[in-house]
Amino acid sequence: MATIESNDETVADVLKSFYVVPDYQREYVWEESQVDQLLRDIRTEQLEGGDAEYFIGSIVVCPRPDGAFDLIDGQQRTTTLFVTLCAIRDRLATLGETQVASISKLIADTAVDAEGNDVFRARLDPQYSDAGDVFQKLQDGEVPPVAGTRSMRNVAIAYATALRFLEEELGADPQAVRKFYGYLAGKVKLIRIRTDSLARALKIFETINDRGVGLDAMDLLKNLLFIRTAPAEFEKLKNRWKALTDALYDAGEKPLRFLRYYIFATYGVTKLREDELYAWLSANDAKVGYGKDPLGFVDRLAGALASYLHFLDGLGTDGKLHPRVQAISLLAGRATRQHLILLLAARKLPADIFDALCRDVESLLVTYLVTRTTSREFEALFPEWAVRVAAVASLEEYRAFASATLVARRRDLAARFHREMASLNGASLRQYQLRYLLAKLTQHVDLLAYGAESEGCRWLSRYTDGSNIHIEHILPQTPDDPVRVEFGEGADDYDLLWSIGNLALAERSINSWLGRRPFSEKRPVYPKSQLLLTRAIAEQPGIGNTAIDRAVAAMKPFETWSRGDVIQRSRWLADLAMEVWDLPMPPAASAA
C-alpha cells in the first residue's frame, strides 16, 4: 500500500469502514448552528440538482490492528453525519417505516475481531471519556438527554437539531425523508486520506489545518504536541491537556486569549494576533521548547493558567486572597483583561515587587477609566512592558522601570484625571466601576485611620459588597417637593444627581432609613455610619490620628446641601483621589 492514499468517497462508502476517535482527540464541539447549516447546505444542493455531487471536506485516517481506522481529522463532520443517520432512521420509524436496514448498517454492523469472532460494533466509536454513553444510546435508538458532559450535551443537541430539520424541511412524508437519505449517502462526498502511521497522519492533519481552517491555535498546538510525544506518553499528555482546557472552559475564559497573553508574558513577543499564534509557535520551537519536552511545556502552560485564573478571581499567585489583586479584579470586572499580561510576567517575582506592580497597574487602569482613555493602548504598551518587568531583579530596579513606564503614563494624565474626577458623572460608568471608585475613596480614609492590618478595612470587597453597602444619593434620585425646596436650584439636574460629590457609600440599614429624605433629616444620621468618609459629610471625624485628620481636614462638614455643596464635595473627592491613586496634584488645582 502507498504511504499516503487519497480517495473521494460517498458517505455510504466512507461508512463501510469502522472508525475510532482516539481518546486524545478533541471532543465533539459542534453547536446547533453548525449542524443545522451543514444539513441545510446539503438540502440546498439536493434541491438544485439531485444528480450533482456535493463535497463537504476531508478526513484523515490511520489503520488500527483491529481492522478499524483511527479518525485523526474530520471528527466533527463525521460525528455529525453519524448522528444525522441516527435521526433519519428514527424519523422513518416514527413515520411507520420498517425498512431501514441499509441505514442501520451505516450506523452499526458486524465486524470480525482478531480471534475470528463476529462482533457487532458501531461505525463510529469515540474513545474520549467525555463521550459517556451517548453514542450507545443513539445506536440503540434511544433519544439522548441534553445532560452530562459538554460533549454529551453537544451530541444530544446535534441529534435534536437533525431531527427538527427533518421534521421542518421534509414534513411527515417518509418518501421525502428517504430521498434526502439517498442523496446524503450516495451523492455527498468526502476525501478520505489514509496513511500508514499515526505520526504521518498527525503531520497531514497539521498540514491540512496550517491556516487554522475549522480549528483554532489551541487545537493545532495540541496536535503539534502529540506529534512530538512518544506514543507511550499519550495518556499523560491527553490528561494534562484536558485538565488545562477544562479549567479554561469552566472559567468561561477564551483559550486563545490566554495563550496569546502567555506568549506576551513569557517570550518577549510584543505583537501577535490570535490568527498568528500557531504559525508563531511552529516557528519558535527552539525558544518555547515543546518539541524537546512536550509534557514540560504543558506543565508550564498549566502553571501560568493557574496564576491567570487566580488573578481573575482577585487572588495572588498562591491562590490566597491578595488585597491589591482583589482591587484590580473589582476594577477590571470581566471586561478588561490586558493587565493580566503584566501580572503573568511578574508572577514569579518577589512579593514586594509584585505588590508594587499591582499598585501601579491598578492606578493606571483607573486613570484610563476616569480620563476615558481607550484601553486599546494597553495592547501595545503592556506586551512591551512585560518583557522588562520580568527581568527586574530588585525593588529599586522595579521603581526605575515603573518611573519610566506606568508612573510616567499616569503622570501625563494627572491634570486631566483631576479635572475629570471633579466633574465625574457616575451614571456614565458601569455599576461595578462606580462601586469601585466610591469603595476606594472610602477605604482609603478608613485605612489611614485604622491601619492596613485592620481586617475591617483591608479588603476592598467589603466596600463593594452591594448586599451590605449601598450607594447613597445625598440628593435623592427622585426628589419630592420638600427636598426640592430645601436643595434649591438644580434639584432635578440629572448630572448633579449623579455627580461624584452627591454620592457616598452607606450601610444597608442606614441607607434604607435615609431613603428620599431631605438633607436636614439625613444629616444627623450620617455620623452613625462606620465609614469615615460618609461620616465626614455631616461631622469632622474625631479619631485623634494625624493621618486621618490630614485626609479629611479640607472636608468641612456640610450644614446644608445645595448645588454649590455638591460641586465643593466633588472637588474635595477629586483631591482625595489624587492621593488614593498616587497621582501628582496639578498646579493650582487645590480645592480650597
pLDDT, tens digit, 9 for 90 and up, residues 237-257: 988 998 998 899 889 898 889
- Spatial separation of the C-alpha atoms in residues 68 and 197, rounded to whole Å: 14
CB 573 within 8 A of CB 502: no
Whether 559 shows a pLDDT value over 60: the answer reads yes
**H or E stretch covering 118:** strand 118-122
User: Would you say residue 184 has pLDDT above 60?
Assistant: yes
| 235 within domain boundaries | yes
Query: Residue 568 pLDDT > 70, yes or no?
Result: yes
Q: Is residue 310 part of a domain?
A: yes
Instruction: Please indicate, yes or no, whether residues 458 and 501 belong to a single structural domain of this protein.
Output: yes
Q: Is 21 helix (H, G, I), strand (E, B) or coil?
A: strand
State mean pLDDT over 141-146: 86
Q: What confidence score (pLDDT) does residue 216 get? A: 64
Average pLDDT for 547-554: 65
The per-residue pLDDT for 592 is: 42
Three-state helix/strand/coil letters over 184-226: HHHCEEEEEEEECCHHHHHHHHHHHCCCCCCCCHHHHHHHHHH
For residues 448 and 547, is the Cβ–Cβ distance under 8 A?
A: yes
Euclidean distance between CA atoms 545 and 551, whole angstroms = 10
Q: Residue 121: name the closest of 134, 142, 131, 135 by CA.
A: 135
pLDDT attached to residue 393: 94
Model pLDDT, residue 211: 40
Total structural domains within the chain: 3
Q: For 211-220, 362-371, 391-400, which range has the lowest pLDDT when averaged over its residues?
A: 211-220
Please give the Cα distance from 140 to 118 (Å, whole number): 19
For residue 213, tell me if it sits in a domain.
no
Residue 212 pLDDT level (bands cut at 50, 70, 90):
very low
The rounded mean pLDDT for the chain is 89
- Predicted pLDDT at 552: 66
In a domain, 586, yes or no: no
Beta carbons within 10 angstroms of residue 237's beta carbon? 19
Q: Examine the fold and report which residue of 151, 180, 208 is the final residue of a domain before the chain moves on.
A: 208
Do 176 and 53 form a contact (C-beta atoms < 8 A)?
no
Task: Report which of 384, 402, 382 is spatially closest to residue 392, judged by C-alpha positions.
Answer: 402
Say yes or no: 449 and 559 in one domain: yes
Same-domain check for residues 385 and 432:
no
Query: In the structure, what pLDDT confidence band is assigned to residue 227 with cuts at 50, 70 and 90?
Result: confident
Could you count the other beta carbons within 10 Å of the beta carbon of residue 116? 6
What is the reported pLDDT for 591? 44
- Choose between 275 and 523: higher pLDDT: 523
Average pLDDT over residues 391-398: 96
Average pLDDT over residues 217-244: 85
Residues 272 and 163 in one domain: no
Whether 400 and 435 share a structural domain: no
The C-alpha atoms of residue 384 and residue 353 are separated, in whole angstroms, by 18
413 and 424 housed in the same domain? no
Amino acid 542: pLDDT:
67
Distance CA 360, CA 388 (A): 15
Same domain, 248 and 143: no
What are the distances in angstroms from CA 344 to CA 258, 266, 347? Answer: 10, 8, 5
- The 3-state DSSP class for residue 176 equals helix
Describe the strand order of the beta sheet including 4-10 as a list of residue ranges: 4-10, 188-195, 54-63, 69-73, 19-21, 124-126
Residue the block writes with cell 479640607: 554
**pLDDT mean over 184-201:** 84
338 & 466 share domain: no
Check whether residue 124 and residue 63 sit in a common domain: yes
Residue 485: name the closest of 520, 460, 445 by CA.
520
pLDDT of residue 164: 94
Per the domain annotation, does 458 fall within a domain? yes
Write the CB contacts of 360 (distance below 8 Å, at least 6 apart in sequence).
402, 406, 407, 410
- Domain span at residue 285 reads 219-419
503 pLDDT higher than 60: yes
- Percentage of the chain exceeding pLDDT 90: 62
Instruction: Please list the alpha-helical segments (H only) found in 317-430.
Output: 323-332, 339-345, 351-371, 376-389, 395-404, 406-412, 414-422
Is residue 442 situated within a structural domain? yes
Which of 186, 208, 230 is the last residue in one of the domains?
208
164 & 232 share domain: no
Whether 131 is covered by a domain: the verdict is yes
User: Do 412 and 496 sit in the same domain of this protein?
Assistant: no
Q: Is residue 314 part of a domain?
A: yes
pLDDT, residue 543, reads 60
Q: State whether 157 and 264 are in the same domain.
A: no
Structure confidence at residue 166 (pLDDT): 95
Last residue of a domain, one of 354, 386, 419: 419
pLDDT of residue 204: 66
Residue 316 reports pLDDT greater than 90: yes
